[in-house]
A = this chain, B = another copy of it.
């Protein structure tokens, strides 16, 4: 038993986590107490080959990480409790269905049961943003908190809510669309059809778009050189890199991003009075240049008692957040997290 002594039963039981994305499937294994991680691998999703082929790849990848974990630990197959799956949404968790995913082209697809049948283990399904937040709460930046608001900033802005130590899903599993709160009712058009959503200002593509607009003013900037003059190739990472190098225009775009995120986070403080707000995804690359003005904007806008109760921190899990979160989903469903 060695290093697992004293951690109880959960230290010698294992959970597979599967993070299903539009581009890649990532799978890994963790002990049920979240303390150890094993074999993590990734394969292309290849959604164009159809849902059956994607399920087959998920099953093969799961078998591979199970086998590698067994080789590393000597665990028996019976020590594997099940599979947690993080998927793009919206989902029907009770039925285990992926209702719609534009990226994968699925409708009402019974992903949970298909994976469970393939791997011959019980499975649980939740959306990727919920998984990411639960993972940070389980073993990341929000460990030990009772009430957590999670934002994952990438192509869009996903949200997850942990209230009273449990993921909150709402009446029909679509709660937590935190990127789609209006912060300017007559503002930028959002991909969701609404105007002025937080996502329309502070997602990765929105940050890049605001940088391109700023460059239109003709001010000097290092950003064009970073993309060989092809402004279409500017991403949020370009902006953060330029800002770190002292580029003033890029620094402005980062501070505006902090302001927009600060408006949204202030709303969440006044609504939820959480102990932690975790912000994960690519924007954490910007570091304190983003978080410091973000916190200042929140202090300006939110109620003091809510500000005093709350830490606003970057996510800690980075690349394995999806797999950790998927494992956490299964663990929480079994009362282990």
Interface residues of A (CB under 8 A from B): 90, 99, 146-147, 159, 161, 163-164, 168-178, 180-186, 192-195, 259-260, 263, 266-267, 270-275, 300-303, 305-306, 308-310
Contacts and interface: CB of A to CB of B under 8 A. Distances in A.
A273 B147 contact: no
B301 A173 contact: no
Contacts of A164: 164, 168
B168 A163 contact: yes
Contacts of A272: 168, 170, 175
A214 B303 CA distance: 31
Main secondary structure of the interface of A (DSSP, over half): loop
- Each complex incorporates copies of this chain amounting to 2
Nearest to A306: B174
A184 B181 contact: no
A182 B266 CA distance: 8
Contacts of A174: 273, 303, 305-306, 309
A224 B296 CA distance: 44
Given A176-B271, A301-B194, A303-B192, A146 B163 contact: no
A172 to B, nearest CB: 4
